[in-house]
Amino acid sequence: MALKSATINVMFAAAKKAARVLVRDFGEVEQLQVSKKGPSDFVTAADLRAERILTEELARARPTYGILAEERGATAGTDATGRRWLIDPLDGTTNFLHGIPHFAISVALAEGEDVVAGVVYDPIRDEMFWAERGAGAYLNDRRLRVSARDKLADAVIATGIPHHGRDHHEPFLKEIPAVMAACAGVRRFGAAALDLAYVAAGRYDAFWERDLEPWDIAAGLILVREAGGFVTDFGGSRNPLASGDVVAANDPLHRPLLRLLIAARA
């Protein structure tokens, strides 16, 4: 059985408690109060309740840590190492609102610019993906490794499609035919945190998307890296939290996919 640190246990407990709210609200989604926060972004009572539980539980366990959460924004901490939680209480809101059982809670712990721990919890499947710097990545108690495929022609690659209210439509319409022609299949499931977790688990061979927020990708980033994969932005930087642009894959596929995407845009 994988040994979990005190930090991971804190994250587990908070995610599990928030998940009970999401599962209950998912069963009553037609009655759920919904509002728009932007042209294509929805916020639900479920988001707000889950985020409140997460922030309260994490703050109780680590009162000096800062918090960056999707709905409430940033709260400064007093921790000497600059540690802060990055929280997405409901990744896959559109799926949730349409009754599609593919969404997750994402919680990461960052120390300055470095993500040091992360969990992505899919409450419908009861799958807890977790990782800590230097300790590996796991699905529940099973060690994870990225896939071993070494040819794009054999790879299944996930992405996020820009939609109403988002930029990068034109670049994506150049990238998608190039990737489709080079790989075995492209998938779009609408939850970036789970897409990255699936790369860590070897279910997907790679993933790319633009214009994401730090809370969308922080936990997934350390999952992929601790599972032996690579995560960069489109310029090759190892800090995609700054740009919000992500390319994740195993070692043999990362550079070919990155070259393909850059060439498609050019």
Tens place of pLDDT per residue across the chain (266 aa): 678 999 999 999 999 999 999 998 888 876 666 655 544 455 677 888 999 999 999 999 999 999 999 888 898 989 988 999 999 999 998 898 888 999 999 999 999 889 999 999 999 999 999 999 999 999 999 999 999 999 999 999 999 987 655 555 677 788 899 999 999 999 999 999 999 999 999 999 999 999 899 999 999 999 999 999 999 999 888 889 989 999 999 999 999 999 999 998 87
Sign, CA torsion 194/91/223/187: positive
**Domain shared by 138 and 29, yes or no:** yes
Distance CA 214, CA 23 (A): 24
How many independent structural domains does the chain possess? Answer: 2
Distance CA 140, CA 257 (A): 29
The H or E element spanning position 248 is strand 246-249
CATH number at residue 187: 3.40.190.80
Q: What is residue 164's predicted lDDT score, i.e. its pLDDT?
A: 55
Other beta carbons within 10 Å of 16: 17
**Domain shared by 77 and 181, yes or no:** no
Q: What is residue 35's predicted lDDT score, i.e. its pLDDT?
A: 59
Last residue in a domain, options 143, 176, 206: 143
User: What is the residue range of 106's domain?
Assistant: 6-143
**Domain shared by 139 and 156, yes or no:** no
Task: Answer whether residue 1 is part of any domain.
Answer: no
Q: What is residue 113's predicted lDDT score, i.e. its pLDDT?
A: 86
**Domain shared by 135 and 156, yes or no:** no
**Domain shared by 119 and 19, yes or no:** yes
Alpha-carbon dihedral angle through residues 16, 21, 162, 36, given to the nearest 10 degrees: -150
Biggest distance spanned by C-alpha atoms of the chain: 50
**Domain shared by 128 and 110, yes or no:** yes
E-state strands within 15-99: 34-36, 42-44, 66-69, 73-75, 83-91
Last residue in a domain, options 117, 143, 169: 143
The edge-to-edge listing of strands for the beta sheet with 114-122 is: 73-75, 66-69, 83-91, 104-111, 114-122, 127-132, 136-139, 142-143
**Domain shared by 122 and 158, yes or no:** no
**Domain shared by 111 and 58, yes or no:** yes
The torsion angles phi and psi of 89, rounded to 5 degrees, stand at: -75, -20
Per-residue exposure over 49-64, b if at least 16 CB sit within 10 Å of its own CB, e if not? bbbbbbbebbbeebee
Q: What is residue 46's predicted lDDT score, i.e. its pLDDT?
A: 82
The H or E element spanning position 128 is strand 127-132
**Domain shared by 208 and 229, yes or no:** yes
